Amino acid sequence: MIGATMSAKDYLALVCQEIEKMDTAELEKVSDLIEQAYDAGRFVFIIGNGGSGANASHLCEDLAKCTLCDFEGQKRLKVLSLTDNTAGIMAWANDEGYDRIFLEQLKNLSSPGDLLLAISGSGNSPNILRAMEWANAHGLTTVGITGFGGGKLRKMAHHGLHAAVDDMGIVESLHQVVFHWLIDDLHRRFKEKAVPANGAKAR
């Protein structure tokens, strides 16, 4: 908890420095992958624990709603946060182990060609790694969204989005910042594809 040793001003300055270090090519690639899933009618699944789980829920909500320019006629992105199936998570965790909570949902819901966004600050959460291993073996495209050194997840995933800072709070904050750019960028991309009932491009 690096903020415990810093003033508010110094902490915010550090956050700004770390934002500047983010690889925009990685971020743009994630936007490309989500657009490709949208075009192909594939599902986007998002997973994470704790603060990353909250970020997964938030990202899912924004991808589902805030990428729309036409609530009635526009094609929609198929997106699910597997952190939000509370009863399913509790059943798997209680009966078979917490490391299976995302893996087993993917077995029920996913198909080859779908996209998995796996968020883990450490990159070493067992339930994330098990889901990633299964997804890689069953034809999903995978993205590891990480912090610290990236852990095992950064090496396993097909693609990555990395915040290279050794503080969980800052990692989760940086993820949320770049997720909001993703939403804005995808709103633009999807709007350019939207064709209203009169056949004219959306404005």
- Structural domain spans, the chain: 2-193
SS (H, E, C) 63-76: HHHCCCCCCCCCCC
What's residue 194's pLDDT? 80
Q: What is the pLDDT of residue 114?
A: 98
Query: Which of 149, 147, 153 minimizes the C-alpha distance to 127?
Result: 153
Residue 142 in 3-state DSSP?
strand
CA–CA dist 105, 83 (Å, integer): 10
d(CA 62, CA 38) in angstroms, rounded, equals 14
Q: In which residue ranges of the chain is pLDDT below 70?
A: 195-203
Sheet containing 115-120: give its strands across: 78-81, 43-47, 115-120, 141-147, 159-163
pLDDT of residue 39: 96
Residue 199: the pLDDT is 54
Beta bridge partners of 45: 80, 116
In the three-class reduction of DSSP (H, G, I as helix; E, B as strand; rest coil), residue 120 is classed as: strand
The CATH fold assigned to 2-193 is Rossmann fold (3.40.50)
Residue 188's pLDDT is 95
Instruction: Please give the pLDDT value at position 197.
Output: 47
Is 198 in a helix, a strand, or coil? coil
What is the enclosing helix (H) or strand (E) of 143? strand 141-147
